[in-house]
Chains A and B, each alone.
Chain A
Amino acid sequence: AQKITQTQPGMFVQEKEAVTLDCTYDTSDPSYGLFWYKQPSSGEMIFLIYQGSYDQQNATEGRYSLNFQKARKSANLVISASQLGDSAMYFCAMREGNFGNEKLTFGTGTRLTIIP
């Protein structure tokens, strides 16, 4: 079974609109973390936001927020007021494992295109 599922291979969104990128996860570890990364066409992996499984509040970083629904095992990324520069691949990833050995498992990604 996939540990991280991103069901939207591609999305087109009008500039200035909000966009939600879906991510569901599967783990039996009570302590885990969820990440979102942005990968522009240049290829680098840019950290956007992090949510720990014990965090009480949803994470926010500027225009990015993470809609964390633990019972549903979902961690959707919300980008408010989208900009042309938001066009990129977006990956959801999960940290599991023993303390200090925090390998990430990635989803297949969503390609977001912002339309002017």
Chain B
Amino acid sequence: EPEVTQTPSHQVTQMGQEVILRCVPISNHLYFYWYRQILGQKVEFLVSFYNNEISEKSEIFDDQFSVERPDGSNFTLKIRSTKLEDSAMYFCASTQSDRGYGYTFGSGTRLTVV
């Protein structure tokens, strides 16, 4: 079964450093998303991406965050200058163009900012 692949599975970084979280969506999917889950809390939408541009972003997705699809397969989330409160699990997801089915999450990257 097709998978959304995320790397690394766990990343520890120092406050103020830049991090790039990587995702390989399912190959025939067109819509890409990043979500965040702070430990013990619910999953929150960060950003959606289609046709090489951001479709929608949440209040959480401020100027410190950016997304990119640098080639035909990767989808990245960059945090420019990490803060302690950026520590969370970050999930990438992708969907096909039809609604509903096919909304698949990756296994997540656990980001720890120290």
The residues of A with any CB-CB pair to B shorter than 8 Å are 31, 33, 35, 37, 43-45, 47, 50, 52, 91, 93, 95, 97, 99-109
Contact = CB atoms under 8 A, between A and B. Distances in A.
Contacts of A33: 99-100
Interface stretch (B14-22, B40-48, B68-76): B40-48
A97 B105 contact: no
A100 B108 contact: no
A45 B42 contact: no
17 contacts: A31-B99, A33-B100, A35-B103, A43-B110, A47-B104, A47-B105, A50-B100, A52-B99, A91-B43, A99-B99, A100-B31, A101-B56, A103-B48, A104-B33, A104-B35, A108-B41, A109-B42
Closest 7 CB pairs of A and B: A45-B105, A44-B107, A106-B43, A101-B55, A103-B45, A106-B42, A33-B100
A66 B31 CA distance: 26
B56 A103 contact: yes
Contacts of A50: 100-101, 103
Contacts of A108: 41-42
Contacts of A107: 42
A48 to B, nearest CB: 12
A8 to B, nearest CB: 14
A101 B105 contact: no
Contacts of A99: 99
B19 to A, nearest CB: 18
Nearest to A32: B99
A31 B98 CA distance: 13
Given A45-B43, A93-B43, A107-B42, A102 B107 contact: no
Given A100-B30, A100-B31, A106-B44, A43 B108 contact: yes
